[in-house]
Structure 1
Amino acid sequence: MGIKASTVLIFLLLFHDFLCISAKGGKHSFVKEAKKSGKWTKLKYDYIIVGGGTAGCSLAATLSQNMSVLLLERGGSPFGNENITQIQNFHTNLLDYESPHSPTQEVIFEDGVISARARVLGGATCLNAGFYTRASPSEVRAMGLEAPLVEQSYRWVESMVAHRPLPNEWQVSVAKGLTEAGVSPYNGFTYDHIPGTKLGGTLFNSTGHRSTAADILVQSANPRKLKVLLYATVQRLLFATEGKTRPKANGVVFSNRDGSKHRVLLKEGNSEVIISAGALGSPQLLMLSGIGPAEELKSMGIRVIMDHPAVGKGMADNPLNSVFVPTAIPISMSLIQVVGITKYGTYIEASSGFGPTDTKLVKNEGIILEKVNGPRSRGYLRLNSTNAEDNPVVRFNYFEHPVDLQRCVEGIKTVQKVIMSQSMKKFIYPNMNLTQIMRSSFQQRVNLIPRKTEDCESIEQYCKDTVTSIWHYHGGCQVGSVIDGDYRLIGADGVRIIDGSTFNFSPGTNPQATVMMLGRYMGVKILTERLDSLAKVNLQHPT
């Protein structure tokens, strides 16, 4: 890279606060509803980003420092919505399926597991339990990322959205119980991924106010270069194919709330469409655009732009199983703050003060969650219709691989040890034993899977029958099969995919920190690449 390009990039990134003065103080001048977009849809952009979620926000904020960016988000704004921003409304927000324009869209997988898709600026960071923790160094290496820039990118994200939690008595006791159960040592507070038990970060501050990826836009975007359209559902990418050996993206078609469709285009040259629509949305959008398994696309009446058999394949979800613990003493609300990183491939976390399946706060119940890391069971995603608003059909084949089931068994056994530990004794009713707790948890209707029995006969059966999702699904557009190491779509030009759909595994105990980091990381890489190219042009054609 030339010296001038490096100097320009460093200057822009160091002084981003100066560049976004007009966006602060709640004056989100760069955010508009799609139907009020006006001239914005008549302009051409260096980058069109599809999806203002966990990755899309940090990516857009970074690219806007030097390039014109249009960010298209199918949902609305999180700002001023207390269901999103306040911890006590966590369940209300998560289960808000009724309005077609609510932040949450219900999705039911073919496996019988119920989950939620975000449709709001900030994406899943507006819905999830807020736990913030990094990927392990080995996972970073496996992703092919450069460690120094990864570190810088994590720190950049953390400066805006991450907080140190104030654990309540339940969280402290679970941490102690984990170490008693052999998940040791206790590593204290850290964002880093370290085997043992630790206190991690959170998106919720000390007053219970949630930070989201949308706050990154407010704090770091350059409003003179960034435009954000809300309620703009991208239906398909536009490709130029005539006279080209490879299809090249040149824009997108999106619909707004009244159903009208609009076309927006890229500038000529090295401009790109970047898909950041998540593990469900990104492979779905590729297929709607004619990129995917040819026979599947033809069966839906979609013109095939490029036969890409790997799109939508290799989908995985980290299976979650929970034990609900009635408590003898009232406990305050808490979401995920403590995690046990075991040696046998499971993660154990806890929450309290929320009911398992309804919106009412439960003051006398804690939940201990166990999830399998790096599941070997794989599934698929295929289209349900040609409307991008509709959920795709998704199957994860939970516990199809015996290693996943064995890991779950070990995890639940560890959860049982935590419940029966000395540190947890004050919470357990004197007349209640472990069998009763497990039976009561087994009877909770947490999914739509038909029960083979109404009682828990084995831990294996408990795992299979009580499996749920904690939104860590990934795949469908993986590096190496759908995209290359620079996150470019293999076989086409002008398209990148940057989000959790590119993962071969879910990084860390909880992926959101790494997804936000990846948006920043790739934004810096793309800017560096673009400025390097411009520097070369300037050297060849001096003014």
Structure 2
Amino acid sequence: MAGFWWWKLLLVALAGILFSPQQYSASQKVPEYRFMRNATSASNIAYFDYIVIGGGTAGCPLAATLSQNYNVLLLERGGSPYGNPNITNLATFGAALSDTSPTSPSQRFISQDGVINARARVLGGGTCLNAGFYTRASPQYARETGWDGKAVNESYQWVEKTVAFQPQIKQWQSAVRDGLLEIGVQPNNGFTYDHIDGTKVGGTIFDQQGFRHTAADLLQHGNPARITVLLHATVHRILFTIKGKSKPKAHGVVFRDALGRRHKAYLNHDHKNEIIVSAGALGSPQLLMLSGVGPAKHLQAHNIRVTLDQPLVGQGMSDNPMNAIFVPSPVPVEVSLIEVVGITKFGSYVEAASGENFAGGSPKDYGMFSPKVGQLSTVPPKQRTEEALAKAIESMDALDEAAFRGGFILEKIMGPMSTGHLELRTRDPNDNPLVTFNYFQHPHDLERCVQGLSTVEKIIESKAFSPFRYKNMPLSILLNMTASAPVNLLPKHANSSLSLEQYCRDTVMTIWHYHGGCQVGKVVDTDYKVLGVDALRVIDGSTFNFSPGTNPQATVMMLGRYMGLKILRERLAASD
């Protein structure tokens, strides 16, 4: 019996499940947006001052802000997050990510590296799907980006009044925090939204009742008389006018509703009006290419008329690689998402999440590290096939729920130096593009991963964390346990032991922080205007050279508000 118990624990790490659902009985106040409707009700042709493509993390605050003074159309290819418990409740975190249906708020994609990933397809974007951690970028990041510090802080505060909360830190997260401090990830910065070296408790977009607050909530600050939000509105291309030798000028968009009917939206006749793309790190470069702005040869290969030969569209794609270690616990642990972070000086962030079985739900169903959401680290990336996922899920379902007691400590590297690129797969905007991130291509990224895992080992062995570890389970066993399990074997290497370098390569996963494709200085200028064309901007994470802070959502929401205010100020100044 002891051997069978041990085998179950080994399979837990292979299956990679994080925590079970928790039930909440509190009722959530749902915003009533009279300006939001299905695109099937849209007129065939309409005119606006601003057309924002993508109602995601940046698009919602941007559209709400611009609507203070101007008529704004916000086009979102997905549906509403409201009324969907798989989005709104902490109890069902991961359920949306595991839904692979055509109408899911999460659209699964697999990078050319073989890592399974997800992109949002819902009003509110990634804030509807993520683990909720809220933290700002560092002041240095803001300075290097060229942002105005005062306006940045005011924009963060505007966001935080609606969507950010202080989490309740319980035993597991406290042990990780104290372990980080014990091993020297100092100082203790307590609870703060700020990005500071050392150990801190960050914010969360889940409130005290376990309800998720998203970028869609920021639309409540819009002017209802000036904003129109269309759901299930998929933009197929941006329309340009080209006169003589002048720059191409964006003047409208073509979109289709859920029934496939074609609609057009145009800018009103004012040269200051603009189209703004906020479709995310995959959607924004994809849409530019579909509209003829991109590498000419690639566009011609897809029979797309070239509006502007811009070879840097789709370049500079990065994803912060994540590697995690499952730590089985001899005692029950609370359900927790990312709440504590260790910001190391060598460039790795250490975080943790935990869980156990609660009444009303099974830990096998959901979780950040579940094969059901595509997180499969028990085979190397290129071998993470549908068959491998199915086998991992089957093995996981066969386990007793008691075997899922424990949690994960993860590390992810900041600002990966490895970069890749994005290309079109088809001319259908509903299809995922081809994207390559080239994880660990740069040796410095691999070095930081190894340092991060070494830091995780020290936390596991710390006195503070001792109540949550088995004494006879050192890191070598935690890393190599997959080699003796009966399913989903990692490759056995010549030295018969799994080095940290090889562990990084073989078990790399995503934490959904991919960025790039329309970077500042390459595709857009410092005002996020697309170089080489007029009346077109890109404002979202595709413009980032590095992911801001430990987690980007706060900064992406801030950027939407920040740029909305900047655009309003510039237009006001021009009219004086």
**TM-score, L = length of structure 2:** 0.85
Query: Residues 101-250 of structure 1 correspond to what in structure 2 (within 5 A)?
Result: 101-218=103-220, 220-243=221-244, 245-250=246-251
Conservation of the 8 A alpha-carbon contact between 1:195 and 1:342:
yes
1:414 is matched with 455
Indicate yes or no: 2:521 matched with 1:480.
yes
Residue by residue, what CA displacement relative to the aligned partner does 1:181-236 show, whole Å, maximum 9, x if unpaired? Answer: 22111110000010000000000011111000000112x11110000000001111
Dislocated runs of 4+, deviation >3 Å: 358-363, 440-446, 448-456
> Could you say what the CA RMSD is over the residues aligned between the two structures, in angstroms?
2.0
Out of 30, 34, 39, which is 2:39 matched to? Answer: 34
SS of the residue 2:444 aligns to: helix
Conservation of the 8 A alpha-carbon contact between 1:442 and 1:466:
no
Specify whether residues 456 and 90 from structure 1 end up closer, same or farther in structure 2 by C-alpha distance, changes over 3 A only.
Answer: farther
2:500 is matched with 459
Conservation of the 8 A alpha-carbon contact between 2:482 and 2:490:
no
1:74 is matched with 77
1:48 is matched with 51
| Residue type at the aligned position of 1:255 | R
Report the Cα offset of residue 244 of structure 1: 5.2
Residue by residue, what CA displacement relative to the aligned partner does 1:282-327 show, whole Å, maximum 9, x if unpaired? Answer: 0000000000000000011100000001100111111111111111
Out of 343, 346, 353, which is 1:344 matched to? Answer: 346
CA–CA separation in structure 1 for the residues paired with 2:289 and 2:183? 47
1:383 is matched with 424
Residue by residue, what CA displacement relative to the aligned partner does 1:97-127 show, whole Å, maximum 9, x if unpaired? Answer: 1x21110100100001001110000000000
Residue by residue, what CA displacement relative to the aligned partner does 1:120-142 show, whole Å, maximum 9, x if unpaired? Answer: 00000000000000000110011
Residue by residue, what CA displacement relative to the aligned partner does 1:461-520 show, whole Å, maximum 9, x if unpaired? Answer: 000111111111111101101001111000100100000000111010001100000000
Query: Residues 290-309 of structure 1 correspond to what in structure 2 (within 5 A)?
Result: 290-309=292-311
| Residue type at the aligned position of 2:208 | S
Report the Cα offset of residue 242 of structure 1: 3.3
Specify whether residues 358 and 450 from structure 1 end up closer, same or farther in structure 2 by C-alpha distance, changes over 3 A only.
Answer: closer
2:415 is matched with 374
CA–CA separation in structure 1 for the residues paired with 2:449 and 2:94? 26
Specify whether residues 472 and 200 from structure 1 end up closer, same or farther in structure 2 by C-alpha distance, changes over 3 A only.
Answer: same
CA–CA separation in structure 1 for the residues paired with 2:443 and 2:59? 36
Report the Cα offset of residue 444 of structure 1: 9.8
| Residue type at the aligned position of 1:48 | I
Conservation of the 8 A alpha-carbon contact between 1:83 and 1:93:
yes
Indicate yes or no: 2:516 matched with 1:503.
no
Which 10-residue stretch deviates more, 448-457 or 281-290? Answer: 448-457
| Residue type at the aligned position of 1:35 | T
CA–CA separation in structure 1 for the residues paired with 2:237 and 2:486? 37
1:268 is matched with 269
Conservation of the 8 A alpha-carbon contact between 2:30 and 2:82:
no
Out of 29, 49, 64, which is 1:61 matched to? Answer: 64
| Residue type at the aligned position of 1:203 | I
Q: How many residues align?
A: 507
Conservation of the 8 A alpha-carbon contact between 1:74 and 1:232:
yes
Specify whether residues 86 and 174 from structure 1 end up closer, same or farther in structure 2 by C-alpha distance, changes over 3 A only.
Answer: same
Report the Cα offset of residue 435 of structure 1: 1.8
Report the Cα offset of residue 433 of structure 1: 2.6
Report the Cα offset of residue 329 of structure 1: 1.0
Out of 283, 286, 306, which is 1:284 matched to? Answer: 286
1:17 is matched with none
CA–CA separation in structure 2 for the residues paired with 1:499 and 1:165? 27
Conservation of the 8 A alpha-carbon contact between 2:482 and 2:489:
no
Amino-acid identity (%):
56
CA–CA separation in structure 2 for the residues paired with 1:412 and 1:35? 50
1:4 is matched with none
Conservation of the 8 A alpha-carbon contact between 2:76 and 2:234:
yes
For CA contacts below 8 A with separation 6 or more, give which structure has more relative contact order: 2
Report the Cα offset of residue 27 of structure 1: 2.4
1:18 is matched with none
CA–CA separation in structure 2 for the residues paired with 1:161 and 1:244? 47
**TM-score, L = length of structure 1:** 0.90
CA–CA separation in structure 2 for the residues paired with 1:370 and 1:441? 19
Report the Cα offset of residue 450 of structure 1: 7.7
CA–CA separation in structure 2 for the residues paired with 1:431 and 1:457? 19
Report the Cα offset of residue 430 of structure 1: 3.2
SS of the residue 1:422 aligns to: coil
Out of 430, 445, 448, which is 2:471 matched to? Answer: 430
Conservation of the 8 A alpha-carbon contact between 2:136 and 2:193:
yes
Conservation of the 8 A alpha-carbon contact between 1:266 and 1:272:
yes
Conservation of the 8 A alpha-carbon contact between 1:112 and 1:449:
no
Report the Cα offset of residue 368 of structure 1: 0.8
1:539 is matched with none
SS of the residue 1:44 aligns to: strand
Specify whether residues 316 and 449 from structure 1 end up closer, same or farther in structure 2 by C-alpha distance, changes over 3 A only.
Answer: farther
Residue by residue, what CA displacement relative to the aligned partner does 1:310-349 show, whole Å, maximum 9, x if unpaired? Answer: 1001111111111111111111211110000001000011
Report the Cα offset of residue 533 of structure 1: 2.0
Conservation of the 8 A alpha-carbon contact between 1:189 and 1:200:
yes
Conservation of the 8 A alpha-carbon contact between 1:72 and 1:234:
yes
